Amino acid sequence: MVQQLFTQGSLFDLQTVIDYGQSVINVAQELAKVLTDNRPLSTKTVSSQMNRYFLGTAASGAWQWKDAYEAVEVAQILYLRHLGIKILSQQPQVVVQQLEELTALCPTHTR
C-alpha cells in the first residue's frame, strides 16, 4: 500500500511536495509581473497560469482554487519584495493605502 501511495503522488512523496511548491512559485512569479504593471489579476488570468504550471485544469483535478489563492498570496509577497525599501520609507498611512490598492488588484477568495 505504501508503494501504491508513493507512485500515485501523495503528501508523503517528497517529489510531489517539491513539484507542488515549485508550481505555486512559478504561477506567483507570473502573477507578480501583472501586479508590477499595476493591472488587476482576473480569475481568468489566475486560472490560465494555474493550468499552465499544474499541467491541467481545476476541473480535471490538477489543482484547486485553494492552491490558486496561495499563488496569489505569494505573488503579493513577491510584489512587495519588488517595492523593497521604497514602501518602508513612506508614512504608515501611505503604506496602508498601497496595501489596500494591492488587495483591490487581487481576486477575492470566493470560489
Q: Work out the percent of the chain whose per-residue pLDDT is above 90.
A: 69
What is the per-residue pLDDT across 54-101, written as a single tens digit (0 to 9) for each? Answer: 999 999 999 999 999 999 999 999 999 988 888 878 899 999 999 999
Q: How far is CA 12 from CA 6, 9, 23, 24, in A?
A: 7, 8, 18, 18
pLDDT for residue 13 is more than 80: no
**What's the whole-model pTM score?**
0.81
